[in-house]
Structure 1
Amino acid sequence: MRELVLIGVGAGDPEWVTLAAVRAIQEIDVLFVVVKEREYDDLVEARRSIIERHRTRPLTMVELLDPPRPWQSVPDYPAAVAAWRAHRLESWGQAVAGHLGEGQSGGFLVWGDPSLYESTLAIVEQLVASASEEITYRVIPGVSSVLALAAAHRIPLNRQGRAVQISPARMLAGGMPEGVDDVVVMLDGKQAFASIDPAGLDIYWGAYLGTPEQLLVSGPLGDVAEEIIRVRADAAARLGWVFDTYLLRRRDREPARGG
């Protein structure tokens, strides 16, 4: 029997790799490395450092070239995502069949947590279901950017008796959802926070969380939105990439606290 292991390696700090993740890194026989379009050198180096830090035996590494991500410029978002995932499934299935032998374990290093806004788990589920030979899989959780954001700003994600919503930025077009006071926003490449009504809202923003480049801005949304746009643009120009997320919070009970 063959096994696939999805290993959450945290949002950036190498010390956020759990003992369970370290054990898995030490035990796998093959590492499947997803190389994304225009892969960022910093992320490649971070992945390499994790392996070198926690692995003493030689490891077979298989690169999986990710297909381009076209959905930011196509009208049918669900269809574009489905096509992209189908391409991934075919590529990964061929790699696993060709490089993972009977009785071996193959691993995927997943940034943050494999179960939160990460497509690796969905692809692996399909891969296992469609494989001609039996494959098992397991998931090792990691420190997500959501938890890293709250820790960096020293705030709880939830307030007593109230819910927290985690949402992609494209669902923020109409402003804060009705009946929700705290929203963590992911995948915001277009700074959606700057286009909604800022009245009564605080924002806790963070980029490169857990890394030496970590950036934090917090305060009333109307006061700091332009600052976040400027800081983000400067960082993108300097490093060539940005990973960021933020919490929007209604200010009806608690004032913003600096990060």
Structure 2
Amino acid sequence: MPVCDSRRVRVIGIGTGSPAHVTGQAISALRECDVFLVADKGEVKDELVAVRRAICEEFLDEGSYRIVPVTDPERGPDAERDRTAYRAGVDAWHAARADRYAEIIASLPEGETVGFLVWGDPAFYDSTIRIVDAVAERLPLDVRVVAGLSAIQVLAAEHGIVLNGIGQPVHVTTGRRLLDEWAPELGTVVVMLDGSLKCRELVERAPDLVIHWGAYLGLPQQVLRSGRLADVIDELIDLRAQLREEHGWIMDTYALTTASAPHPA
């Protein structure tokens, strides 16, 4: 229930880049907001801020809102940390983010509604809800979350696949955990936040795995590849490096299935 004298905050999933991904519920939530706080991650991520601006321009009247970039705290070299150090680093990063957002929200005129535009869906490997919860420990907030179209759904749709076999599970994990967790009985494994395509280390264990990979899902520069993991992994590693060099950043996701799993007709 809303808290007396609380600041209204809307955490809004906006899909993976296309205005066509924005739901009617998300549009209604966008129109409630007076100001959007957007993490500024430097020049190489300017395109992500630009997409958020374009979505606001698509659905909101000019002059009805403001976009406030917030310089993102330094996060550190995640790939070089063990699991304990990684968690400590992420916790510190979240706390620093919460401090910055709390300071800005507290300084806004009373009665304004604050929006956070979340890439994909706020429930999948995104820190916004946790950070907003941390802000709520610093000042009272009235928070509502709106679901968005996730990279997981877009990946499956663009490849035309059903993620689960009949009566089978789907396992969602990260590149950091993939090698420890993967087993055939997991069914389809969807991997997010994998900066080095850890699946290449599964080739010897399971060469007949099939990969469905996508980068920049929903954006004009979207790239898709699929095939037997052992056959395509070298190409994917080279392609990913090329795309990162070309654009200065990359966001990609992939699904691993066994060769016997059902494929689209």
User: Would you say same fold, with TM above 0.5?
Assistant: yes
Report the CA distance shift for 1:166/1:98 in structure 2 as closer, same or farther (over 3 A). same
Secondary structure of 1:199 counterpart:
coil
Q: 2:136 aligns with which of 116, 120, 128?
A: 128
Q: 2:154 aligns with which of 148, 151, 165?
A: 148
Q: 2:248 aligns with which of 227, 234, 240?
A: 240
Q: 2:55 aligns with which of 26, 50, 55?
A: 50
How many angstroms does 1:57 deviate by?
Answer: 4.1
Matched, 1:36 2:41: yes
Counterpart-to-counterpart distance in 1, 2:22 and 2:33: 16
How many angstroms does 1:155 deviate by?
Answer: 0.4
Any conservation in 2 of the 1:218–1:257 contact (CA below 8 Å)? no
Counterpart-to-counterpart distance in 1, 2:187 and 2:138: 42
Percent of residue pairs bearing the same amino acid type: 38
1:163-202 matched pairs, under 5 angstroms = 163-174=169-180, 176-177=182-183, 179-196=185-202, 197-202=205-210
Any conservation in 1 of the 2:214–2:225 contact (CA below 8 Å)? yes
Counterpart-to-counterpart distance in 1, 2:252 and 2:45: 15
Counterpart-to-counterpart distance in 2, 1:213 and 1:233: 15
Q: How many residues align?
A: 254
Q: 2:221 aligns with which of 213, 220, 225?
A: 213
* Cα distance per residue 1:4-23 (max 9 Å; x no partner): 00111101222101111112
In structure 2, the residue matched to 1:67 is: 73
Q: What is the letter of the counterpart of residue 106 of structure 2? A: A
Matched, 1:160 2:166: yes
1:239-258 matched pairs, under 5 angstroms = 239-254=247-262
1:81-120 matched pairs, under 5 angstroms = 81-99=90-108, 101-120=109-128
Structure 2 regions of 5+ residues with no counterpart?
none
Any conservation in 2 of the 1:185–1:247 contact (CA below 8 Å)? yes
* Cα distance per residue 1:215-258 (max 9 Å; x no partner): 1111111111111112212211211111100000122343x569
Report the CA distance shift for 1:243/1:39 in structure 2 as closer, same or farther (over 3 A). same
* Cα distance per residue 1:14-42 (max 9 Å; x no partner): 21011111122222111111112444232
Q: What is the letter of the counterpart of residue 47 of structure 1? A: R
Q: What is the letter of the counterpart of residue 129 of structure 1? A: E
Secondary structure of 1:198 counterpart:
coil
Report the CA distance shift for 1:202/1:178 in structure 2 as closer, same or farther (over 3 A). closer
Q: What is the letter of the counterpart of residue 211 of structure 1? A: L
CA-atom RMSD, angstroms? Answer: 1.8
Q: TM-score, normalised by structure 1?
A: 0.92
More displaced 10-residue stretch of structure 1: 5-14 or 54-63: 54-63
Any conservation in 2 of the 1:6–1:138 contact (CA below 8 Å)? yes
Any conservation in 2 of the 1:6–1:139 contact (CA below 8 Å)? yes
Q: TM-score, normalised by structure 2?
A: 0.90
Counterpart-to-counterpart distance in 1, 2:146 and 2:22: 10
Structure 1 regions of 5+ residues with no counterpart?
none
